[in-house]
Amino acid sequence: MTKSNNNPILQMKNIHVYYDDIKALKGVDFDLYKGEIHALVGEHRAGKSTLVKLLSGAVKPIQGEIIFNNKKIDYFSPISSMKSGIGMVYQNINIIPSLNVIENIFAGQMIKTWYGRLNYTLMLQKTKELFKKLKTDINYEVPLGLLSEGEQQIVEIARVLSLNPSVIIFDEISSKLTPNELENIYRIIFEYKTKDRSIIYISHNMDEIFEFADRVTILKDGYRRGTEEIKNLDKIKLIKLTYSFMLTREELKQDNKKLYFFKKYNENIIKNLPIGVIILDDKNKIYLINYAAVKILEIENLNVTDENMKIIFNNENIEEADKILEQIKLKKKFRWEELDYKEDKKIKINIFPFKDENYIFLGTIILIEDITKDSYFKNYLLRTEKIASVAQLAAGIAHEINNPLGIIINYITLLKRKNLDNDGSEKLKKMEKELNRIAEIISSLLSFSKLRQATLKKVNLVSIIDDVVILINHKIIAKRINLIWHNNIKEVFIMGNENRIKQVLINLLVNSIEAVLAGGKIKIKLHIDKLENQVVISIIDNGYGIPDNIKDKIFDPFFSSKVSKNNTGLGLAICKQIIESHHGHILCDNKEQETSFNVTLPMIKWTKEE
């Protein structure tokens, strides 16, 4: 999918939908391009079906703006939606059980002859063509109520395809269809994509989404939590952001007396331990698993009790799976200090077989710890040492270059005093200019090697912001973002490290760029607080916002709500550390569909515009 030089076919802005007192959508933005397969994911009641029902005419917005094919739409009715070329396959099958296949497909759009009678022959012909395309053979004459749920779903899809829509919406269809039927639907989706038709695909199946979607929008609690291109995503992070894990299981069998007694007295303690705990019975079936283990191991199927450990420890998840299962089978105590788990996690595992007072084997306790951060810090310190060595080496080389460079500059200064013609004098000036530029680069390199010891200097904050805007301008243009930076203040001086302040502003602006949709808005504001002698830089965007329940965590190291592959969750933590080292502070605020990051720094002086 290419979006450059291409406006969205659909834009939904600040959409609010209420069902009586229930707020289903709370200011959601969404856009869709021609030829795009755009997935929608989220927990139950996240607002996915409500958002697409706005397009089918089943729901009306309380507030917000819908633009379809460059025309503003107050709301869709079922008829206007159909006429606009929008077709929707509902999660709950929308058929008339007493009518047959042909009558269901053409309900509301019956084909008639020129003299007003139903043209059954033509409708039958078109029905056969549709089912040939779907590679499905169904009895067209029987009432739909007699067909299977999967066959009814296929009829519903055929009805939508008969409309020849430009936008097709699929709402959780995969659970009702066989693998072969799904393959046919995927084929049709790709075929429509090549014809510049657009697809909105709602699914809880992440494999489906990563297989064929171009972009994905995450909804949670009625809010948009992000819109990303699939090629940039990390599947595990997407799953963790989309779904809230809750542990549920049946009570254990009463005949397992000893473990049942152990559970009754200790289950609450075990479930709330910060370390992952899995308890196996004497047949190595999962007896109990706590929340920490579910979170660490990223278990998708939560109802795993009475199952074998192979569903958790397998070669797909962990290379040492066979060895772990072998030690459990041998009922031996064992320990692994560091194991790679799935794509990006390091875990530590301890296995403890336990027995009763008569030494009868009762089961196995498995302790699991997430040591990803510890491992990262260990590697980070090693990298830091290497960087320090490289910096020292660079400083040594720079010193060696600096000495002959100074001699060359001195000789050029002497040559300039001689009576040279205009051409020679001009060439000497150019040489001197370029050599001075090399000297500045070397000076910067030396400064970088001593960054930790660098003292704060008087710097102009307005100039720093101007430089940063230039640096990130290519990202602004690529996403067609409206960046507003109009300042009536000439100079605002602070004591600071220019490169560190730039690092903070670039990080905050890139976060805003990632948060807004194409055509979004970002504002940079500068406010002078005369009483406190402070300056406040505000970076404001109309992106998907920061949920209140995580606002207190966003500056914590390794915390992230992003789903991209390379995100470490350290950006805002580093920004906070830099600003605090400048005796300032940084805060986040959500107001009226806007998110604002406010950086406050002590000010030396400021100058107004004339």
| Predicted confidence (pLDDT) per residue in 105-123, tens digit | 887 777 787 777 878 788 8
- Into which CATH architecture does domain 375-452 fall? Orthogonal Bundle (1.10)
Give the full edge-to-edge strand order of the sheet including 594-602: 482-484, 521-529, 534-541, 594-602, 585-591
d(CA 402, CA 200): 61
Q: What DSSP state is assigned to residue 74?
A: S
* Sign (positive or negative) of CA dihedral 30, 35, 40, 41: negative
Tell me the backbone φ, ψ of residue 419, rounded to 5 degrees: -80, 95
Q: Which pLDDT score, from 0 to 100, does residue 13 have?
A: 94
Q: Is the pLDDT at 218 greater than 70, yes or no?
A: yes
Q: Do domains 375-452 and 457-608 have the same CATH topology?
A: no
Q: What is the pLDDT of residues 389-413, one digit of tens each?
A: 555 666 667 667 777 877 787 778 7
Helix axes 149-162, 179-194, angle to 10 degrees: 10
Q: Tell which residue, 347, 333, 238, has the closest CA to residue 292.
A: 347
d(CA 49, CA 25): 10
Q: Which pLDDT score, from 0 to 100, does residue 261 have?
A: 46
Q: Which pLDDT score, from 0 to 100, does residue 596 have?
A: 93
Confidence label for 388 from pLDDT (cuts 50, 70 and 90): low
Element (H, E) at 183: helix 179-194
Q: Could you tell me the CA-to-CA distances from 215 to 36, 218, 515 in Å, in that order?
A: 8, 10, 14
| Residue 534: alpha-carbon gap to chain centroid | 35
d(CA 33, CA 10): 7
Which stretches does DSSP call E strand in 186-233?
Answer: 198-202, 215-220, 223-229
Considering 115-124, 332-341, 431-440, 580-589, the range whose residues carry the highest mean pLDDT is 580-589
Q: Which pLDDT score, from 0 to 100, does residue 272 have?
A: 67
Q: How many CB atoms lie within 10 A of CB 148?
A: 11
d(CA 171, CA 58): 14
Mean pLDDT of the chain: 81
Considering 2-16, 170-184, 187-201, 274-288, the range whose residues carry the highest mean pLDDT is 187-201
Contacts (Cβ under 8 Å, ≥6 apart) of 49: 91, 171, 172, 202
Contact 554/567 with Cβ under 8 angstroms? Answer: no
Q: Are strands 22-32 and 10-19 parallel, antiparallel or unpaired?
A: antiparallel
Give the full edge-to-edge strand order of the sheet including 37-41: 86-89, 167-171, 198-202, 37-41, 215-220, 223-229
- State the virtual CA torsion across 476, 477, 482, 488 in degrees, nearest 10: 70
Q: How many CB atoms lie within 10 A of CB 325?
A: 17
Considering 69-73, 294-298, 527-531, the range whose residues carry the highest mean pLDDT is 69-73
Amino acid at residue number 474? H
**In the block, residue with structure tokens 């290519």:** 474
Q: Which pLDDT score, from 0 to 100, does residue 564 have?
A: 64
Contact 535/528 with Cβ under 8 angstroms? Answer: yes
Token pair in block for residue 17: 């939908």
Which stretches does DSSP call E strand in 33-127?
Answer: 37-41, 63-68, 71-73, 86-89
Sketch the domain layout of the chain as residue ranges.
Answer: 10-242, 257-370, 375-452, 457-608
Q: Tell which residue, 225, 206, 208, has the closest CA to residue 217.
A: 225
d(CA 181, CA 472): 47
Q: What is the pLDDT of residues 67-110, one digit of tens each?
A: 999 999 999 998 899 899 999 988 777 778 788 888 888 877 77
Q: Are strands 86-89 and 198-202 parallel, antiparallel or unpaired?
A: unpaired
Q: What DSSP state is assigned to residue 519?
A: T
Contact 55/76 with Cβ under 8 angstroms? Answer: yes
d(CA 498, CA 479): 27
d(CA 218, CA 222): 10
Q: Are strands 71-73 and 605-608 parallel, antiparallel or unpaired?
A: unpaired
Q: Is 66 helix (H, G, I), strand (E, B) or coil?
A: strand
Q: Are strands 585-591 and 605-608 parallel, antiparallel or unpaired?
A: unpaired
Confidence label for 256 from pLDDT (cuts 50, 70 and 90): very low
d(CA 298, CA 275): 14
Q: Are strands 334-341 and 489-496 parallel, antiparallel or unpaired?
A: unpaired
Q: Which pLDDT score, from 0 to 100, does residue 248 have?
A: 34
Share of the chain above pLDDT 90, in %: 24
Domain 257-370 top-level CATH class? alpha beta
Token pair in block for residue 43: 């927990």
* Sign (positive or negative) of CA dihedral 310, 314, 320, 322: positive
| Dihedral-angle region of residue 465 (phi above 0 means left; psi in -120 to 50 means alpha; beta otherwise) | alpha
- Into which CATH architecture does domain 10-242 fall? 3-Layer(aba) Sandwich (3.40)
525 forms beta bridges with: 538
| Residue 213: alpha-carbon gap to chain centroid | 14
| Cα-only R_g, the chain | 32
- Residue 446: HSE in the Cβ half-sphere, 13 Å Cα cutoff: 13
- Into which CATH architecture does domain 457-608 fall? 2-Layer Sandwich (3.30)
More confident residue, 64 or 305: 64
Q: Is the pLDDT at 270 greater than 60, yes or no?
A: yes
* Sign (positive or negative) of CA dihedral 227, 228, 230, 236: negative
